[in-house]
Amino acid sequence: MVNTSSPETTARVLVDTVERLSTAVSLERVTQVVTEAVRAAVGADGATFVLREDDKCHYADEDAISPLWKGSRFPMSACISGWAMEHRETVVLPDIYVDDRIPHDAYRPTFVQSLVMTPIRRSDPVGALGAYWRTGHHADSEQVRVLEVIANSAAVAIENLELRGAVERRSAERDDLATRADELESAIHTIAHDLRSPLGAILGYAELLEDAVDDEREESHKARVFARTIAESGARMAEQIDTMLGLYRITNRTLEPAPVDLSAIGHRIADGLASVTGARHVDIEIEDDLRAVADPVLAHLMLENLLSNAVKYTGKKPDAHIELGRVDLGRIGIADPFVTFVVRDNGDGFPAEDAARLFRPMTRLHTDAEFPGTGLGLASVARIVEMHGGQVRAEGAKSVGASFYFSLPASA
Rounded CA separation 306/65 (Å): 62
pLDDT at 80: 95
Average pLDDT over residues 82-105: 93
Q: Which helix (H) or strand (E) holds 258?
A: strand 258-261
Going by pLDDT thresholds of 50, 70 and 90, the confidence category of residue 14 is: confident
Residue type, 63: D
Lowest mean pLDDT among 2-11, 251-260, 276-285: 2-11
Which pLDDT belongs to residue 329? 67
pLDDT of residue 137: 93
Please give the mean pLDDT across all residues of the chain.
80
Residue-wise pLDDT for 97-118, tens only, equals 999 899 999 999 999 999 999 9
**Candidate from 60-64, 82-86, 146-150 with smallest mean pLDDT:** 146-150
Q: Are 102 and 80 in contact (CB under 8 A)?
A: yes
Say yes or no to pLDDT of 83 above 90: yes
Q: In sequence order, what DSSP letters do the residues of 108-127 get, joined into one string?
A: TTS--SEEEEEEESTTS-SE
Please list, in sequence order, all residues whose beta carbon lies within 8 angstroms of the beta carbon of residue 263, skipping any fewer than 6 positions away: 286, 287, 288, 289, 290, 291, 324
Strands 392-397 and 401-409: antiparallel
What pLDDT score does 2 carry? 38
Assign 290 a pLDDT band (cuts: 50, 70, 90): very high
| Mean predicted confidence (pLDDT) in 268-275 | 83
Task: List the domain boundaries for the chain.
Answer: 7-166, 255-412
> Ranked by mean pLDDT, which of 6-15, 253-262, 312-321, 353-362 comes out on top?
253-262
Q: What percentage of the chain reaches a pLDDT higher than 70? A: 69
Return the minimum-mean-pLDDT range out of 48-57, 167-176, 225-234. 167-176
Per-residue pLDDT at 333 exceeds 50: no
Range 255-412 classified under CATH 3.30.565.10:
yes
Which CATH number applies to 7-166: 3.30.450.40, 3.40.50.970, 3.40.190.10, 3.50.50.60? 3.30.450.40
pLDDT band at 236 (very low <50, low <70, confident <90, very high): low
